[in-house]
Amino acid sequence: MKPINVGLLGIGTVGGGTFTVLKRNAEEISRRAGRPITITAVADKNLDLARSVTGGGVRLTDDAFSVVADPEVDIVVELIGGYGVAKELVLKAIENGKHVVTANKALLAVHGNEIFGAAQKKGVMVAFEAAVAGGIPIIKALREGLTANRIEWLAGIINGTTNFILSEMRDRGLSFAEVLKEAQALGYAEADPTFDIEGIDAAHKATIMSAIAFGIPMQFDKAYIEGITRLDAIDIVYAEQLGYRIKLLGIARRREQGVELRVHPTLIPAKRLIANVEGAMNAVLVQGDAVGATLYYGKGAGAEPTASAVIADLVDVTRLHTSDPEHRVPHLAFQPDQVRDVPVLPIEEVITSYYLRMRVDDKPGVLADITRILADSGISIEALLQKEAAEGESQTDIIMLTHQVVERNANAAIARIEALPVVSGKVTKLRMESL
């Protein structure tokens, strides 16, 4: 049978991994796909790199637009990244009637609605398993494996850099700044790690998963995003003493009024499996009404793990290449005319529990004043940790875990606590999820 011809845009880490795995496992992949899948054209600005990876056995060019215009190319694999030229290339490939496979979570989270709309009109597929959690087949699970379920919520450790940093801070008692330097030296963090440590990368991925889980458009601009840069090492220690671990979670939850879509450091009970995901690994926990909780775990980045997902998409597209577009799995799992524009709730309307740490004067009556404010706001306390003041010090830490409350009410109570003369500085507030 005639091979499927692939045009590869970008042969960096993931592109190189894709070329290598596709070549190494060509026979196995062909047996699964029903025909050979062959990379026939590679576009990259660095032609020397492209030549060294491919051995020069394919057409090489520094003009990616020539690849998306090539009539011999059936599928375009976009591994360039970013929102700019990648968007132009993907839309041009679709316009030219080519299927697209991409690992570009930023592009889909921000421009996915436009891209999927264009693909729907043209009758081509856009596959994006590699855009979320590297080699973990979470998109496939959400789109197909959990089809019978009304998905209630999902929560994921979906950024390996931040998970590595938090694991090291907990294990070795180091500060955020110290571990970040180490992560950069080891290659886990970029020279400019902003997208990772500020939670933006995780929010791109959570946006994509929320759209598939709930049948809603991509709404990245509505996501609440809070990174780990302001996380204090002492809070990791106190959380541990209370039986919790702190992880940067991407969370999407269905509520009656809308959908919660948020990324932030989160306390999770240490006994939960997802709380024990360490280092640069990823994991996603999905709660369906029929199946209950399911956990997906594995490498969230790297050349071959991500290539695994890219090639899985290539096989899927190859199998369905000649099928009726009406009978393919929809891009966002739900039929396009059934995608509903459900509102994403502002963070003030989120309902969750809280970890509160405050620095207070070490004298009688302080705890009573604080608990009275919480009671007035309808906030009940689940656990309390009051540290003894160090020798010669007049202040100490009080740590409280609350039951669930609307964030707006928690913020109002915190403002009143901070106004007490016996409380120094700001109250540290972290969200908690029992999962």
Task: Provide the annotated active-site residues.
Answer: 205
Token pair in block for residue 330: 């929809």
Token pair in block for residue 309: 């997902």
Separation CA 362–CA 397 (nearest Å): 9
Separation CA 360–CA 378 (nearest Å): 22
Token pair in block for residue 324: 């009726």
Burial class (CB within 10 angstroms; exposed 0-12, middle 13-18, buried 19+) of 218: buried
Token pair in block for residue 259: 């959908």
Contact 154, 251 (CB under 8 A): yes
Separation CA 197–CA 164 (nearest Å): 11
Separation CA 421–CA 428 (nearest Å): 17
Burial class (CB within 10 angstroms; exposed 0-12, middle 13-18, buried 19+) of 105: buried
139 SS3 class: helix
Q: What are phi and psi of 279, to 5 degrees?
A: 65, -145
Contact 18, 130 (CB under 8 A): no
Count of alpha carbons within 13 angstroms of residue 423, beta-carbon side: 22
DSSP state of 391: T
